[in-house]
Each structure stands twice: as structure tokens, then as C-alpha cells.
Structure 1
């Protein structure tokens, strides 16, 4: 099969937004997802905080993508709601970091980057977040941080693509290799046949490294397992996101509370474990003691695309003309997706990029 401008491999939030951006620019795009439904992997499993957990601990390259995406997310949600009737629920709650060891570094980062992060009196935190557990001594607060309801974001993006005449979406279509003309990549192979295109974009999350190995490309992206639990509480139970000791609680608008997450190097094993459930439950009760009496309505695991320093690979691979990457976002795929995909589309179409592309360029990092 031929006749498309681009094939996008991977139907997570990165692949979906890449496809949407290309299609809105007039490109004919084929999106291939190996699972039965798009967004079934890390994009569904994550928490959806529209910020890195500790933004000051990341490289400036991550911050640049995060800042652009944070500013763009409300507009994206409005556009998707208008186009599809499905609200991704970008929910601005703010985020409290409790008892940090590196508060000074965080405040210095905020000043350098002109981000609204402030030290606050712990008594005011307890007044603002009544269910917070006892014993915390200090807090930093970023009032504008939102969370996005990632399963709804996926549904909305899927519906938006289905409404476009220049997009083909194929699920249960696993890519097994690449079609080449010499070193040029001119398409992809699958059990269902071959698809040809001017450009092939790898946005396959934790599976990107395995796929690229068939081209003798060693991409340092590996699966990193994360487990989450979900509680159901009253709609107004938790007014803000909170984070302490590496664990976080995220309130949804309907009273669901997400608590996560673990970091496990277990290959491609996504089996939820009782050990992780017990650990997450204990962290939840330490953060919010009332959760001891709340029902756990969900427990799952997903695979993050782990990469060095969490900096994604975005751009062309010059050794294989026609091949492009948008992968390796590690813990921040949902946070960085809008900016990452806009940058990829800008580069692919020869437009002025939204931010400097050099830190993400595959050629200098592979």
C-alpha cells in the first residue's frame, strides 16, 4: 500500500498528537498501533500531571518542552472538546511539594525560569488541604499546575483523528520492520503487509528501541514499570495535588484519587504485584489518612519509555533518510507531548521550530 505522506508507528499520546499535527498541516497520514486500541500503554497508565514531578531536577531541554506544553494544554483541551464533544478534563488544582531536601534548588530554578513556585507556611497548607496527614514541616506550591484525565485525552484524540479525511487509523497492526531502498526508509512491514510512505515516524514508546534494532540503531530507550492505585472519594475530598517522598496523589473532578507510582526495571512485565499495592496503599494513607477507609477501585501497571536524563529523541535520523523519531519521554510523555509533537511537525515540514531542536536531535545522541 502507498499513497500517504507519513506513517506514524505507535498510537500513544505522542503518536496521536504527531498524527493530528501532520494531518492539520495537510499531510496524508497512516497511524499504526499494535494493540487493539490506541493509548493502551503508558498514555493510559500514567497519572497525567502536567508537570515533571520535580522539574528543577531535569535538564533545560526537558523544561523547555514542559513549559511550552503547560501553556498550551488548556487550548488543546478546548479544541478537542469543540471538535469531538469529549472533554480531556484539564483540571487546574495546583501542586504542593512536601518536605523537600532541595527546596533551595527548586526556588532558584523557579526564579531563573520565571515559573510560579513559592515557599509557603505549612499551617496554610493544612488549611488549604484539610485531609493532609500530620507531621509535614515544609512545602513548596505551584498554583497553576493542572492534571489531564489521560484516558479521556486519548479518546478525544482518537475521535478527532477519525473525523479527518486524510488520516487512516489501524489498530491491531504491529509493525515488525522497515521497508528500505538502500539506507533510505520508505515504509514499514507488518503481518498484514507493507505500507509505503515518504516518511516513517517512530513513536512506539518503550518498544521503540527494539523496533529500531532491525536497522542496527541502538536507541537507549528501555521499559520502566510503574504501578498506580485508584481510590473513589467525595468530589471535594482533595482540592490540590500533593507530592511527598516520591509519591503523589492526584484528584480528578469526580472524586477519584490516583496515587503513584513505582519505578521498577522488570523488562516488559506489566503484572501488578501485591508488594507494590501494599507500598502504594501505605504511601496513600501517610499522605491522606482518610484513604484508609476508602475503596481501592483500581490497581494497574504500565511501561514508561526510559531514556537518559529523560530527554526524548525528536527529529530525523540522517543515516536512514525518511526515518524520524519522537520517543523516549520516560516519565513525562503526557507532560511533554504537545511541545514534542509540535517540534517534530515543525522540523518535518521545514517550518521554524517552536524551540531549539538541537538537544533532542537523534544524530548527535545515538
Structure 2
């Protein structure tokens, strides 16, 4: 007879993994159920910049989750590296924005959140001539290498006794007296205590499927495709993240340079296109001519969990007493992940919240 977990996560991306880790650290019996492989969807596909793109142009609710997450990452990355032997490649590479029409607004945001920002230095201006105007360099912004961070968290969870069930699509749910008693795949039934749906871009679709026979409140979360590619280069060819017009270059430690990304509303289509590939290559080589002869190693697509304003749902369900959701982080699952996990933990354990939980409720305007 298997013991019933204290908490069960449906979904296995960065949001679920970071959340599950907090409960495991607190001594809870935790299970994660993922429809494919852990961390292989949007979490694997992203670039790992630990800052939303142009955060001053987005709702303040996003910054509220980003700033404490930025502060949490150095210790998180070090702890994971030490406990698992897997280096998440947390790297303070800085972020250079080449041209900003709203530079004053950007500087106000930096001042509000104590982010160190300055104009591009002479060396950067030489490489990127467009920086001689309204540029902004945030020297303390870091990145992680998504697949390596995900692999390290998964290993950490296994070492903490978390049960991970992969290749298991939940498609049925039993509710009694406004409480979930069990969830099920086509092959297996899982008894539950608390349930958290953290299924990324599939969250909205999954909720509609599971609660089709009820009038329960739904989370309006939808897929937004992003295509990216990696170019090969020698180490130290580029030493900082560069952002221009919503596209970016991210230098990895081994010299690989990631270029992203498109924003496409194509439902659950994860196919890549030659048009997007050429557009990304053209951007990379125009922005940074040193990549002119750099070969393309890989081109892929992922599905981000979008909401109307990019603000995630982090909340207990208003009608089902043992259900919560942590999903809808759009492009910022890594940048907001640690604080989003902390907020979920505080909500479920009925603690005072470290940030305003009302910003992420079902009733909030997403």
C-alpha cells in the first residue's frame, strides 16, 4: 500500500520543480507527475536570462517576483552544484540593451529596484556602434543554462526522496465535496491530498479538460511558441547578453551563442520554420558581425505559458479546497521561479506572504 503524498504536482517544468523542492525541504512527501520528461518543454527551450525583457514595460507584478528571484539564485545555484555535482552554469554575464526609446523609464525602474545600470562602456560601443546613443548596461544580470539547472534540480529532488513519474498524462479527476480525491492517467490512479497544477502552456487546456463537467473557475493560460537557435563560436567571442528589439544573444561559457526568439500564437504547434530560422540568423549576424561565419548547431521551438498580461496565476483554487495553480509565467519562468515557488508555498501553508498575493489570484485581471 503506497502512502498518499502530502502534495502532488501535475507538471514537471521549472515552476513545478522549484515549488516541489520547497515542500521537500520542509519535510513533505512530494510527487511530481509529468506528461513527458521532466523539464523538456518550455523550461528546456528557453534562454535562461534572469530578467524579463524590458521589465519597466510590463506590469509591476512581474518585477515583484523577479527581484527576490534574482537575489535567491546565487545561493540556489551553488547549493544545487554542491549537492548534485551538476553545475547549473549560473553566470553573471551582464545585459546590454543597445537602443532604448524609453531610457528614462528604464533608469527609473533600475533606481526603484536597486539595479545597477549605466551607459555602454567604450569597448561595448566599439563592438555595438548603436550603443553610442540611448543604451543601458546592467552589469549584475545573470543567466543560467536551462538544461543544466533543470538536471541539477531533478537530481536534488530525487536525493530528497521526491517521487517523479514521467510520461504520464493526467486526464481524469475525482472530486467529492469540493475536494479532489484522486487523479488518473489512462493507466494509473493516484490518490492525493493537495494538488498543484503547474503544467506550463498546457495548464489552461488541462484545467478545461479535467473540470469540463463542473462550473469551476478556469485559468486562462495559452501556448505562445518561441523559436531559437545556437551558433558555434570560440570561447569569449561575446562576453555579455545583448538585447535589441525583443531579440537577444546569450553567450554560454563554452562559446556557444544562443539567439532568440520569436513570439508566435500557433496553438500547440512546436514545429520550426525556415523563415524564423533565417530571421534569427540575420538578426544575430547583423547585430554581431563576428558571427558571420559561425555555424548553426541547433534550431528548436518551445511553447511558453501565456496569460493576457504575462502575469502568472499563483493561487489556491477559489472553489476546490485542495487545489492550487502555479502557471502562466510566459517568458519568465526562470526569472520569476524562486519567488513564485516561495509564494505558492506560503499560500498553501497559510503563512503571511512575502509579496502581495492578490496580484496573482484567479480574480486578478490577467
TM-score by length of 1: 0.94
Change in 2 beyond 3 A, CA 1:134/1:319: closer
What runs of 5+ residues in structure 1 fail to find an aligned partner?
none
Q: CA deviation at 1:63?
A: 0.3
1:144-293 correspondence to structure 2 within 5 Å: 144-165=140-161, 167-213=162-208, 214-215=210-211, 216-293=216-293
Q: CA deviation at 1:114?
A: 2.5
Q: CA deviation at 1:115?
A: 2.0
Provide the C-alpha distance between the structure 1 equivalents of 2:173 and 2:57, rounded to a whole number of angstroms. 37
CA contact (8 A) 1:186 1:196 kept: yes
Change in 2 beyond 3 A, CA 1:39/1:69: same
CA contact (8 A) 2:56 2:105 kept: yes
What runs of 5+ residues in structure 2 fail to find an aligned partner?
none
Provide the C-alpha distance between the structure 2 equivalents of 1:339 and 1:73, rounded to a whole number of angstroms. 10
CA contact (8 A) 1:205 1:327 kept: yes
For 2:225, what is the secondary structure of its paired residue?
Answer: strand
Change in 2 beyond 3 A, CA 1:117/1:47: same
1:1-366 correspondence to structure 2 within 5 Å: 3-35=4-36, 37-120=37-120, 123-127=122-126, 130=127, 132=128, 137-165=133-161, 167-213=162-208, 214-215=210-211, 216-365=216-365
1:129-174 per-residue CA deviation (whole Å, 9 max, x = no partner) reads x4x4668633101110001000000100111111122x11000011
Q: CA deviation at 1:338?
A: 0.7
TM-score by length of 2: 0.94
Q: CA deviation at 1:3?
A: 1.3
For 1:308, what is the secondary structure of its paired residue?
Answer: coil
Change in 2 beyond 3 A, CA 1:364/1:95: closer
**Count of residue correspondences:** 360
Change in 2 beyond 3 A, CA 1:334/1:303: same
CA contact (8 A) 1:187 1:199 kept: no
My pick for the range that moved more, 2-11 or 261-270, is 2-11
Q: CA deviation at 1:362?
A: 2.1
Provide the C-alpha distance between the structure 1 equivalents of 2:192 and 2:331, rounded to a whole number of angstroms. 31
CA contact (8 A) 1:98 1:139 kept: yes
Change in 2 beyond 3 A, CA 1:136/1:300: farther
Please report the RMSD computed on the Cα atoms of aligned residues, expressed in angstroms: 1.6
Provide the C-alpha distance between the structure 2 equivalents of 1:100 and 1:364, rounded to a whole number of angstroms. 30
1:269-303 per-residue CA deviation (whole Å, 9 max, x = no partner) reads 00010000010000001111121100100100000
Q: Which has the higher strand share?
A: 1
Q: CA deviation at 1:306?
A: 0.5
Provide the C-alpha distance between the structure 1 equivalents of 2:56 and 2:283, rounded to a whole number of angstroms. 23
CA contact (8 A) 2:67 2:113 kept: no
1:200-253 per-residue CA deviation (whole Å, 9 max, x = no partner) reads 000000000011113243321100000001011111100111111221000111
For 1:186, what is the secondary structure of its paired residue?
Answer: strand
